[in-house]
Structure 1
Protein backbone atom coordinates (compact mmCIF):
# COMPACT_ATOMS: atom_id res chain seq x y z
CA UNK A 1 0.00 0.00 0.00
CA UNK A 2 1.44 3.38 -1.03
CA UNK A 3 1.46 6.17 1.52
CA UNK A 4 -0.50 9.21 0.38
CA UNK A 5 1.55 12.42 0.17
CA UNK A 6 0.80 16.11 -0.30
CA UNK A 7 1.72 15.60 -3.98
CA UNK A 8 -0.87 12.88 -4.59
CA UNK A 9 -4.16 13.83 -2.91
CA UNK A 10 -7.44 12.40 -4.15
CA UNK A 11 -11.11 12.91 -3.47
CA UNK A 12 -12.41 10.70 -0.69
CA UNK A 13 -15.98 10.20 0.61
CA UNK A 14 -16.59 12.38 3.65
CA UNK A 15 -19.35 13.01 6.19
CA UNK A 16 -19.92 15.32 9.11
CA UNK A 17 -22.20 13.85 11.76
CA UNK A 18 -23.82 15.44 14.80
CA UNK A 19 -23.67 13.07 17.77
CA UNK A 20 -25.72 12.90 20.98
CA UNK A 21 -28.52 15.05 19.56
CA UNK A 22 -31.70 14.26 17.65
CA UNK A 23 -31.67 17.76 16.12
CA UNK A 24 -28.84 18.84 13.78
CA UNK A 25 -26.27 21.27 15.18
CA UNK A 26 -27.21 20.76 18.85
CA UNK A 27 -24.78 17.95 19.73
CA UNK A 28 -21.07 17.30 19.11
CA UNK A 29 -19.95 17.31 15.45
CA UNK A 30 -17.57 14.71 14.05
CA UNK A 31 -15.70 14.70 10.73
CA UNK A 32 -15.47 11.23 9.15
CA UNK A 33 -13.22 10.30 6.21
CA UNK A 34 -14.89 7.11 4.97
CA UNK A 35 -11.94 5.82 2.90
CA UNK A 36 -8.60 6.59 4.51
CA UNK A 37 -6.54 3.97 2.66
CA UNK A 38 -3.00 5.19 2.05
CA UNK A 39 -3.18 8.22 4.32
CA UNK A 40 -0.22 8.68 6.66
CA UNK A 41 -0.70 9.49 10.33
CA UNK A 42 0.82 12.90 9.63
CA UNK A 43 -1.80 13.62 6.95
CA UNK A 44 -4.57 12.45 9.28
CA UNK A 45 -3.33 14.69 12.09
CA UNK A 46 -2.96 17.68 9.78
CA UNK A 47 -6.52 17.40 8.47
CA UNK A 48 -7.91 16.81 11.99
CA UNK A 49 -6.23 20.01 13.11
CA UNK A 50 -7.65 21.86 10.09
CA UNK A 51 -11.26 20.78 10.74
CA UNK A 52 -11.12 22.60 14.11
CA UNK A 53 -13.47 19.99 15.59
CA UNK A 54 -12.91 18.05 18.78
CA UNK A 55 -12.27 14.86 16.75
CA UNK A 56 -11.91 13.56 13.20
CA UNK A 57 -12.02 9.87 12.32
CA UNK A 58 -10.61 7.81 9.47
CA UNK A 59 -12.18 4.51 8.41
CA UNK A 60 -10.00 1.66 7.15
CA UNK A 61 -10.39 -2.07 6.41
CA UNK A 62 -10.24 -4.10 9.64
CA UNK A 63 -7.20 -6.15 10.61
CA UNK A 64 -9.24 -8.22 13.09
CA UNK A 65 -11.52 -10.78 11.40
CA UNK A 66 -14.25 -10.06 13.95
CA UNK A 67 -14.48 -6.34 13.08
CA UNK A 68 -16.57 -4.57 10.45
CA UNK A 69 -14.13 -1.68 10.01
CA UNK A 70 -11.12 -0.09 11.68
CA UNK A 71 -11.08 3.51 12.86
CA UNK A 72 -8.31 5.93 13.77
CA UNK A 73 -9.37 8.84 15.98
CA UNK A 74 -7.58 12.20 16.06
CA UNK A 75 -8.19 15.35 18.03
CA UNK A 76 -6.59 18.56 16.81
CA UNK A 77 -3.34 17.61 18.52
CA UNK A 78 -3.19 13.85 19.20
CA UNK A 79 -4.46 10.38 18.32
CA UNK A 80 -6.76 8.55 20.77
CA UNK A 81 -7.03 4.75 21.11
CA UNK A 82 -10.75 5.21 21.86
CA UNK A 83 -13.28 8.02 22.13
CA UNK A 84 -17.04 7.89 22.52
CA UNK A 85 -18.72 10.37 20.21
CA UNK A 86 -16.29 9.40 17.39
CA UNK A 87 -17.36 5.77 17.89
CA UNK A 88 -21.08 6.53 17.47
CA UNK A 89 -20.50 9.06 14.67
CA UNK A 90 -18.21 6.70 12.75
CA UNK A 91 -20.70 3.84 13.04
CA UNK A 92 -23.49 6.16 11.85
CA UNK A 93 -21.46 7.31 8.83
CA UNK A 94 -20.39 3.74 7.97
CA UNK A 95 -23.99 2.49 8.10
CA UNK A 96 -25.29 5.50 6.14
CA UNK A 97 -22.72 4.78 3.42
CA UNK A 98 -24.12 1.25 3.01
CA UNK A 99 -22.08 -0.70 5.54
CA UNK A 100 -23.57 -4.08 6.48
CA UNK A 101 -22.52 -5.46 9.88
CA UNK A 102 -21.48 -9.10 10.03
CA UNK A 103 -23.55 -9.55 13.18
CA UNK A 104 -27.21 -8.69 12.79
CA UNK A 105 -27.93 -5.43 14.59
CA UNK A 106 -24.41 -5.01 16.00
CA UNK A 107 -21.49 -3.15 14.44
CA UNK A 108 -18.03 -4.19 15.65
CA UNK A 109 -15.48 -1.40 15.47
CA UNK A 110 -11.74 -2.00 15.67
CA UNK A 111 -9.75 0.83 17.27
CA UNK A 112 -6.57 1.30 19.27
CA UNK A 113 -8.35 0.08 22.42
CA UNK A 114 -9.51 -3.14 20.74
CA UNK A 115 -12.97 -4.18 19.55
CA UNK A 116 -15.98 -2.06 20.53
CA UNK A 117 -19.57 -3.18 19.95
CA UNK A 118 -22.13 -0.67 18.71
CA UNK A 119 -25.81 -1.57 18.61
CA UNK A 120 -28.98 0.07 17.34
CA UNK A 121 -31.20 1.00 20.28
CA UNK A 122 -34.53 2.23 18.93
CA UNK A 123 -33.63 5.33 16.94
CA UNK A 124 -30.26 5.62 18.68
CA UNK A 125 -26.85 4.00 18.53
CA UNK A 126 -25.09 2.82 21.68
CA UNK A 127 -21.59 1.50 22.34
CA UNK A 128 -20.50 -0.91 25.05
CA UNK A 129 -18.26 1.02 27.43
CA UNK A 130 -14.71 -0.33 27.33
CA UNK A 131 -13.00 -1.26 30.60
CA UNK A 132 -11.12 1.40 32.49
CA UNK A 133 -7.35 1.11 32.15
CA UNK A 134 -6.86 3.41 35.15
CA UNK A 135 -9.23 4.22 37.98
CA UNK A 136 -9.10 5.11 41.64
CA UNK A 137 -7.94 8.02 43.78
CA UNK A 138 -6.50 11.26 42.40
CA UNK A 139 -3.44 12.83 44.03
CA UNK A 140 -4.18 15.71 46.37
CA UNK A 141 -1.88 18.00 44.40
CA UNK A 142 -3.98 17.40 41.28
CA UNK A 143 -7.22 17.95 43.21
CA UNK A 144 -5.93 21.27 44.52
CA UNK A 145 -5.07 22.30 40.95
CA UNK A 146 -8.51 21.23 39.74
CA UNK A 147 -10.27 23.17 42.49
CA UNK A 148 -8.26 26.27 41.62
CA UNK A 149 -8.96 25.76 37.91
CA UNK A 150 -12.69 25.45 38.58
CA UNK A 151 -12.53 28.51 40.89
CA UNK A 152 -13.95 26.44 43.76
CA UNK A 153 -12.93 25.74 47.34
CA UNK A 154 -11.23 22.35 47.67
CA UNK A 155 -14.13 21.15 49.85
CA UNK A 156 -16.54 21.60 46.92
CA UNK A 157 -14.99 18.57 45.22
CA UNK A 158 -17.02 15.84 46.92
CA UNK A 159 -15.14 12.99 45.27
CA UNK A 160 -12.82 12.32 42.35
CA UNK A 161 -11.49 9.36 40.39
CA UNK A 162 -9.30 8.57 37.44
CA UNK A 163 -11.56 7.41 34.58
CA UNK A 164 -9.14 6.41 31.81
CA UNK A 165 -10.48 4.38 28.87
CA UNK A 166 -8.52 6.13 26.13
CA UNK A 167 -8.36 9.84 27.03
CA UNK A 168 -6.92 10.32 30.52
CA UNK A 169 -9.99 11.72 32.24
CA UNK A 170 -10.24 12.72 35.88
CA UNK A 171 -13.86 12.70 37.06
CA UNK A 172 -14.96 15.18 39.72
CA UNK A 173 -18.28 15.06 41.57
CA UNK A 174 -19.92 18.32 42.70
CA UNK A 175 -23.01 18.89 44.83
CA UNK A 176 -25.45 19.95 42.10
CA UNK A 177 -26.10 20.49 38.41
CA UNK A 178 -26.45 24.22 39.09
CA UNK A 179 -22.92 24.34 40.48
CA UNK A 180 -21.65 22.55 37.35
CA UNK A 181 -23.50 24.96 35.05
CA UNK A 182 -22.10 27.97 36.90
CA UNK A 183 -18.43 27.03 36.46
CA UNK A 184 -16.19 29.50 34.65
CA UNK A 185 -12.85 27.65 34.52
CA UNK A 186 -9.37 29.08 34.61
CA UNK A 187 -7.87 26.93 31.84
CA UNK A 188 -4.31 27.97 32.62
CA UNK A 189 -4.64 26.39 36.07
CA UNK A 190 -5.95 23.16 34.51
CA UNK A 191 -3.21 22.91 31.86
CA UNK A 192 -2.16 19.32 31.23
CA UNK A 193 -5.28 17.77 32.77
CA UNK A 194 -8.48 16.44 31.20
CA UNK A 195 -11.25 17.06 33.70
CA UNK A 196 -14.90 16.00 33.65
CA UNK A 197 -17.28 17.52 36.18
CA UNK A 198 -20.56 15.90 37.26
CA UNK A 199 -23.46 17.27 39.29
CA UNK A 200 -26.88 15.71 40.01
CA UNK A 201 -30.12 17.34 38.96
CA UNK A 202 -32.89 17.47 41.60
CA UNK A 203 -34.77 14.24 42.31
CA UNK A 204 -37.62 13.76 39.87
CA UNK A 205 -35.92 15.60 37.00
CA UNK A 206 -35.94 13.99 33.55
CA UNK A 207 -32.15 14.36 33.43
CA UNK A 208 -30.13 12.67 36.14
CA UNK A 209 -26.80 14.49 35.87
CA UNK A 210 -25.24 17.56 34.25
CA UNK A 211 -21.74 16.99 32.85
CA UNK A 212 -19.06 19.33 31.53
CA UNK A 213 -15.62 18.26 30.27
CA UNK A 214 -12.57 20.49 29.98
CA UNK A 215 -9.46 19.92 27.83
CA UNK A 216 -7.17 22.95 28.26
CA UNK A 217 -4.92 23.61 25.28
CA UNK A 218 -7.20 21.84 22.80
CA UNK A 219 -8.86 23.66 19.91
CA UNK A 220 -12.09 23.42 21.91
CA UNK A 221 -11.19 23.63 25.63
CA UNK A 222 -14.74 22.58 26.59
CA UNK A 223 -16.03 19.53 24.73
CA UNK A 224 -19.72 19.80 23.75
CA UNK A 225 -20.66 16.16 24.54
CA UNK A 226 -18.23 13.44 25.56
CA UNK A 227 -18.92 9.72 25.17
CA UNK A 228 -15.64 8.44 26.60
CA UNK A 229 -15.96 10.48 29.78
CA UNK A 230 -19.60 9.51 30.29
CA UNK A 231 -18.64 5.86 29.77
CA UNK A 232 -16.02 6.05 32.51
CA UNK A 233 -18.27 8.11 34.76
CA UNK A 234 -21.07 5.57 34.38
CA UNK A 235 -18.81 2.80 35.70
CA UNK A 236 -17.86 5.03 38.64
CA UNK A 237 -21.33 6.37 39.48
CA UNK A 238 -23.21 3.08 39.08
CA UNK A 239 -20.47 1.08 40.78
CA UNK A 240 -20.47 3.40 43.81
CA UNK A 241 -24.27 3.46 44.06
CA UNK A 242 -24.55 7.15 43.17
CA UNK A 243 -26.55 6.49 40.01
CA UNK A 244 -29.23 3.98 39.00
CA UNK A 245 -28.56 1.39 36.32
CA UNK A 246 -30.28 3.60 33.73
CA UNK A 247 -30.08 7.38 33.65
CA UNK A 248 -29.85 10.38 31.32
CA UNK A 249 -27.02 12.93 31.14
CA UNK A 250 -27.24 16.49 29.81
CA UNK A 251 -24.05 18.04 28.40
CA UNK A 252 -23.22 21.09 26.31
CA UNK A 253 -25.89 23.29 27.91
CA UNK A 254 -23.51 26.19 28.58
CA UNK A 255 -22.32 26.02 24.94
CA UNK A 256 -25.86 26.28 23.57
CA UNK A 257 -26.02 22.57 22.74
CA UNK A 258 -28.64 20.05 23.80
CA UNK A 259 -26.52 16.93 24.23
CA UNK A 260 -28.23 13.90 25.74
CA UNK A 261 -26.36 10.74 26.70
CA UNK A 262 -28.38 7.63 27.59
CA UNK A 263 -26.75 5.27 30.10
CA UNK A 264 -27.97 1.68 30.54
CA UNK A 265 -26.27 -1.07 32.52
CA UNK A 266 -27.34 -4.50 31.25
CA UNK A 267 -25.62 -7.48 32.80
CA UNK A 268 -21.88 -6.91 32.63
CA UNK A 269 -22.22 -4.22 29.95
CA UNK A 270 -22.75 -0.49 30.27
CA UNK A 271 -24.20 0.95 27.08
CA UNK A 272 -23.62 4.61 26.17
CA UNK A 273 -26.24 5.76 23.68
CA UNK A 274 -27.29 8.82 21.75
CA UNK A 275 -28.96 10.06 18.61
CA UNK A 276 -26.84 10.73 15.51
CA UNK A 277 -27.67 12.95 12.54
CA UNK A 278 -25.93 13.34 9.15
CA UNK A 279 -25.29 17.05 8.51
CA UNK A 280 -22.79 17.08 5.61
CA UNK A 281 -22.08 14.43 2.97
CA UNK A 282 -19.68 14.78 0.07
CA UNK A 283 -16.03 14.46 -0.89
CA UNK A 284 -12.82 15.79 0.63
CA UNK A 285 -9.43 16.21 -1.07
CA UNK A 286 -6.81 14.28 0.90
Structure 2
Protein backbone atom coordinates (compact mmCIF):
# COMPACT_ATOMS: atom_id res chain seq x y z
CA UNK A 1 0.00 0.00 0.00
CA UNK A 2 1.49 3.24 -1.20
CA UNK A 3 4.83 1.51 -1.66
CA UNK A 4 6.58 4.61 -2.94
CA UNK A 5 5.49 6.75 -0.02
CA UNK A 6 6.31 4.14 2.59
CA UNK A 7 9.79 3.26 1.35
CA UNK A 8 11.60 6.56 1.90
CA UNK A 9 10.42 10.07 2.60
CA UNK A 10 13.43 12.08 1.44
CA UNK A 11 12.54 15.15 -0.59
CA UNK A 12 14.29 13.98 -3.75
CA UNK A 13 13.25 10.32 -3.64
CA UNK A 14 9.91 11.14 -5.28
CA UNK A 15 11.72 12.54 -8.28
CA UNK A 16 13.60 9.26 -8.89
CA UNK A 17 11.06 6.54 -9.00
CA UNK A 18 8.82 12.48 -14.18
CA UNK A 19 12.65 27.31 -34.40
CA UNK A 20 14.62 28.28 -37.31
CA UNK A 21 17.74 26.29 -38.30
CA UNK A 22 21.05 27.81 -37.25
CA UNK A 23 23.99 27.44 -39.61
CA UNK A 24 26.59 27.00 -36.86
CA UNK A 25 29.08 29.27 -38.66
CA UNK A 26 29.55 31.51 -35.60
CA UNK A 27 32.11 30.02 -33.24
CA UNK A 28 32.15 30.54 -29.50
CA UNK A 29 35.21 32.62 -28.82
CA UNK A 30 35.69 35.33 -26.23
CA UNK A 31 31.94 35.72 -25.85
CA UNK A 32 30.05 36.18 -22.57
CA UNK A 33 28.94 32.82 -21.18
CA UNK A 34 25.25 33.78 -21.37
CA UNK A 35 25.63 34.43 -25.11
CA UNK A 36 27.32 31.04 -25.47
CA UNK A 37 24.26 29.39 -23.97
CA UNK A 38 22.04 31.11 -26.53
CA UNK A 39 24.31 29.91 -29.35
CA UNK A 40 24.12 26.34 -28.06
CA UNK A 41 20.33 26.42 -28.01
CA UNK A 42 20.27 27.78 -31.57
CA UNK A 43 22.69 25.07 -32.67
CA UNK A 44 20.53 22.40 -31.04
CA UNK A 45 17.47 23.73 -32.87
CA UNK A 46 19.35 23.41 -36.16
CA UNK A 47 20.18 19.75 -35.61
CA UNK A 48 17.90 17.19 -37.28
CA UNK A 49 18.61 14.51 -34.71
CA UNK A 50 20.93 13.26 -31.99
CA UNK A 51 21.43 10.22 -29.78
CA UNK A 52 22.11 10.40 -26.07
CA UNK A 53 22.89 8.26 -23.05
CA UNK A 54 22.65 9.24 -19.41
CA UNK A 55 22.34 8.26 -15.77
CA UNK A 56 20.62 9.54 -12.65
CA UNK A 57 21.31 8.82 -8.99
CA UNK A 58 20.27 10.01 -5.54
CA UNK A 59 22.82 10.35 -2.74
CA UNK A 60 21.92 10.82 0.91
CA UNK A 61 24.79 12.07 3.07
CA UNK A 62 27.19 11.04 0.33
CA UNK A 63 25.90 7.48 -0.06
CA UNK A 64 24.08 6.35 -3.19
CA UNK A 65 20.55 5.05 -2.72
CA UNK A 66 20.79 1.83 -4.81
CA UNK A 67 17.17 1.73 -5.92
CA UNK A 68 17.41 5.31 -7.19
CA UNK A 69 20.04 4.62 -9.88
CA UNK A 70 18.67 4.76 -13.41
CA UNK A 71 20.57 4.46 -16.69
CA UNK A 72 18.88 5.52 -19.90
CA UNK A 73 19.38 6.30 -23.57
CA UNK A 74 17.39 7.72 -26.42
CA UNK A 75 17.16 9.48 -29.75
CA UNK A 76 15.80 12.76 -31.06
CA UNK A 77 14.28 12.90 -34.55
CA UNK A 78 12.80 15.74 -36.64
CA UNK A 79 13.46 18.29 -33.89
CA UNK A 80 10.27 17.48 -31.99
CA UNK A 81 10.18 13.70 -31.44
CA UNK A 82 12.10 11.92 -28.73
CA UNK A 83 12.25 8.34 -27.47
CA UNK A 84 13.81 7.31 -24.16
CA UNK A 85 14.46 3.86 -22.76
CA UNK A 86 16.18 2.43 -19.71
CA UNK A 87 19.61 0.85 -20.03
CA UNK A 88 21.45 -1.77 -18.05
CA UNK A 89 24.23 -0.53 -15.73
CA UNK A 90 26.88 -1.52 -18.29
CA UNK A 91 25.20 0.53 -21.00
CA UNK A 92 23.41 -2.38 -22.67
CA UNK A 93 19.75 -2.26 -23.66
CA UNK A 94 17.36 -5.12 -22.92
CA UNK A 95 16.67 -5.41 -26.66
CA UNK A 96 19.75 -3.90 -28.33
CA UNK A 97 23.19 -2.73 -27.31
CA UNK A 98 23.95 0.98 -27.00
CA UNK A 99 27.28 1.86 -28.58
CA UNK A 100 28.77 3.99 -25.85
CA UNK A 101 31.58 3.77 -23.34
CA UNK A 102 31.18 3.42 -19.57
CA UNK A 103 29.27 6.27 -17.99
CA UNK A 104 30.88 8.11 -15.03
CA UNK A 105 27.77 7.70 -12.87
CA UNK A 106 27.31 4.01 -13.58
CA UNK A 107 27.73 1.42 -10.87
CA UNK A 108 27.04 -2.29 -10.79
CA UNK A 109 23.60 -3.18 -9.53
CA UNK A 110 20.98 -5.89 -9.77
CA UNK A 111 18.10 -6.16 -12.17
CA UNK A 112 16.34 -2.84 -12.72
CA UNK A 113 12.83 -2.02 -13.99
CA UNK A 114 12.54 -1.53 -17.75
CA UNK A 115 11.05 1.77 -18.87
CA UNK A 116 10.23 3.22 -22.27
CA UNK A 117 8.54 6.39 -23.41
CA UNK A 118 8.01 8.31 -26.64
CA UNK A 119 7.22 12.02 -26.57
CA UNK A 120 6.29 14.62 -29.18
CA UNK A 121 6.46 18.37 -28.85
CA UNK A 122 3.09 19.90 -29.68
CA UNK A 123 2.16 23.57 -29.29
CA UNK A 124 5.37 24.17 -27.36
CA UNK A 125 4.80 21.35 -24.86
CA UNK A 126 6.15 17.82 -24.66
CA UNK A 127 3.33 15.27 -24.75
CA UNK A 128 3.71 11.58 -23.97
CA UNK A 129 2.48 9.44 -26.86
CA UNK A 130 3.60 6.00 -25.76
CA UNK A 131 5.04 4.57 -22.55
CA UNK A 132 5.71 1.31 -20.77
CA UNK A 133 3.40 0.55 -17.83
CA UNK A 134 4.22 2.90 -14.97
CA UNK A 135 5.69 1.49 -11.79
CA UNK A 136 4.59 2.99 -8.47
CA UNK A 137 2.47 5.50 -10.35
CA UNK A 138 5.06 7.19 -12.56
CA UNK A 139 7.54 6.74 -15.37
CA UNK A 140 10.81 8.53 -14.43
CA UNK A 141 11.97 8.94 -18.03
CA UNK A 142 9.53 11.76 -18.71
CA UNK A 143 11.39 14.04 -16.30
CA UNK A 144 14.76 13.08 -17.84
CA UNK A 145 13.93 14.41 -21.31
CA UNK A 146 17.21 16.28 -22.06
CA UNK A 147 15.65 18.57 -24.67
CA UNK A 148 13.09 19.81 -22.16
CA UNK A 149 15.86 20.38 -19.60
CA UNK A 150 17.80 22.49 -22.10
CA UNK A 151 14.69 24.43 -23.11
CA UNK A 152 13.85 25.16 -19.47
CA UNK A 153 17.33 26.58 -18.91
CA UNK A 154 16.55 29.45 -21.26
CA UNK A 155 13.63 30.59 -19.11
CA UNK A 156 15.01 30.06 -15.60
CA UNK A 157 16.48 32.85 -13.47
CA UNK A 158 20.18 31.99 -13.41
CA UNK A 159 23.80 33.04 -13.49
CA UNK A 160 25.92 31.72 -16.37
CA UNK A 161 29.72 31.61 -16.14
CA UNK A 162 32.48 29.63 -17.84
CA UNK A 163 34.39 26.95 -15.96
CA UNK A 164 38.15 27.45 -15.96
CA UNK A 165 40.45 24.63 -17.05
CA UNK A 166 38.17 23.09 -19.69
CA UNK A 167 39.75 20.54 -22.01
CA UNK A 168 41.15 21.86 -25.26
CA UNK A 169 38.49 22.21 -27.93
CA UNK A 170 35.61 22.38 -25.45
CA UNK A 171 33.95 24.90 -23.19
CA UNK A 172 32.03 24.18 -20.01
CA UNK A 173 29.30 26.58 -18.95
CA UNK A 174 28.33 26.67 -15.29
CA UNK A 175 24.66 27.58 -14.87
CA UNK A 176 23.47 28.15 -11.30
CA UNK A 177 19.84 28.89 -10.54
CA UNK A 178 19.01 31.59 -8.06
CA UNK A 179 17.92 30.28 -4.66
CA UNK A 180 14.33 31.34 -5.35
CA UNK A 181 14.29 29.71 -8.79
CA UNK A 182 15.80 26.47 -7.47
CA UNK A 183 13.09 26.25 -4.81
CA UNK A 184 10.34 27.10 -7.30
CA UNK A 185 11.55 24.45 -9.75
CA UNK A 186 11.73 21.69 -7.13
CA UNK A 187 8.37 22.63 -5.61
CA UNK A 188 6.68 22.34 -8.99
CA UNK A 189 8.25 18.93 -9.68
CA UNK A 190 7.27 17.60 -6.27
CA UNK A 191 3.71 18.84 -6.63
CA UNK A 192 3.38 17.04 -9.95
CA UNK A 193 4.79 13.79 -8.55
CA UNK A 194 2.53 13.88 -5.50
CA UNK A 195 -0.55 14.40 -7.67
CA UNK A 196 0.38 11.34 -9.74
CA UNK A 197 0.42 9.05 -6.68
CA UNK A 198 -2.56 10.63 -4.90
CA UNK A 199 -5.17 7.93 -4.11
CA UNK A 200 -8.35 8.21 -6.13
CA UNK A 201 -11.81 6.83 -5.48
CA UNK A 202 -13.13 4.00 -7.65
CA UNK A 203 -15.64 5.06 -10.26
CA UNK A 204 -18.26 2.38 -9.72
CA UNK A 205 -20.23 2.76 -6.52
CA UNK A 206 -19.98 -0.88 -5.41
CA UNK A 207 -16.19 -0.98 -5.59
CA UNK A 208 -15.91 2.42 -3.95
CA UNK A 209 -18.03 1.25 -1.01
CA UNK A 210 -16.07 -1.97 -0.63
CA UNK A 211 -12.72 -0.24 -0.57
CA UNK A 212 -13.79 2.88 1.31
CA UNK A 213 -11.72 2.11 4.41
CA UNK A 214 -8.64 1.24 2.39
CA UNK A 215 -8.98 4.45 0.39
CA UNK A 216 -9.38 6.46 3.59
CA UNK A 217 -6.19 4.94 5.02
CA UNK A 218 -4.23 5.57 1.81
CA UNK A 219 -5.47 9.15 1.65
CA UNK A 220 -4.47 9.77 5.26
CA UNK A 221 -0.99 8.39 4.57
CA UNK A 222 -0.69 10.56 1.45
CA UNK A 223 -1.69 13.66 3.40
CA UNK A 224 0.85 12.81 6.12
CA UNK A 225 3.71 12.36 3.64
CA UNK A 226 2.67 15.47 1.76
CA UNK A 227 2.88 17.49 4.98
CA UNK A 228 6.25 15.97 5.90
CA UNK A 229 7.72 16.73 2.50
CA UNK A 230 6.42 20.29 2.58
CA UNK A 231 7.91 20.81 6.04
CA UNK A 232 11.30 19.53 4.92
CA UNK A 233 11.13 21.62 1.79
CA UNK A 234 10.41 24.75 3.82
CA UNK A 235 13.41 24.03 6.06
CA UNK A 236 15.81 23.08 3.27
CA UNK A 237 18.57 25.05 1.63
CA UNK A 238 18.33 24.24 -2.09
CA UNK A 239 21.09 24.66 -4.63
CA UNK A 240 20.84 23.67 -8.30
CA UNK A 241 23.81 23.89 -10.66
CA UNK A 242 24.02 22.76 -14.29
CA UNK A 243 27.23 22.12 -16.21
CA UNK A 244 26.96 22.25 -19.99
CA UNK A 245 29.94 20.91 -21.95
CA UNK A 246 29.99 22.38 -25.44
CA UNK A 247 31.74 21.82 -28.75
CA UNK A 248 32.49 25.48 -29.60
CA UNK A 249 33.13 24.82 -33.30
CA UNK A 250 29.64 23.47 -33.88
CA UNK A 251 27.81 25.24 -31.04
CA UNK A 252 26.42 21.90 -29.87
CA UNK A 253 26.16 20.40 -26.37
CA UNK A 254 28.14 17.23 -25.70
CA UNK A 255 27.20 16.74 -22.04
CA UNK A 256 24.64 18.16 -19.62
CA UNK A 257 24.99 17.60 -15.88
CA UNK A 258 22.63 18.77 -13.16
CA UNK A 259 23.52 18.73 -9.48
CA UNK A 260 20.64 19.49 -7.13
CA UNK A 261 21.59 19.57 -3.45
CA UNK A 262 19.28 19.94 -0.46
CA UNK A 263 20.42 20.42 3.11
CA UNK A 264 17.89 20.28 5.95
CA UNK A 265 17.72 19.47 9.69
CA UNK A 266 17.93 15.75 10.44
CA UNK A 267 17.41 13.73 13.60
CA UNK A 268 18.99 14.57 16.95
CA UNK A 269 20.34 17.90 15.76
CA UNK A 270 22.14 16.47 12.73
CA UNK A 271 21.97 17.78 9.19
CA UNK A 272 20.88 15.68 6.24
CA UNK A 273 22.14 16.31 2.70
CA UNK A 274 20.43 14.92 -0.38
CA UNK A 275 22.03 15.25 -3.81
CA UNK A 276 20.23 14.29 -7.01
CA UNK A 277 22.63 14.05 -9.95
CA UNK A 278 21.74 13.57 -13.60
CA UNK A 279 24.20 13.45 -16.46
CA UNK A 280 23.56 12.91 -20.16
CA UNK A 281 26.01 12.67 -23.09
CA UNK A 282 25.02 13.65 -26.66
CA UNK A 283 26.53 12.04 -29.75
CA UNK A 284 25.80 11.28 -33.42
CA UNK A 285 24.40 14.66 -34.43
CA UNK A 286 22.68 14.78 -37.84
TM superposition score category, shorter chain reference: 0.3 to 0.5
Structure with more relative contact order (C-alpha pairs < 8 Å, separation 6 or more): 2
User: TM-score if structure 1 supplies the norm length?
Assistant: 0.32
Structure with the larger helix share: 2
Structure index of larger Rg? 2
Structure with the larger strand share: 1
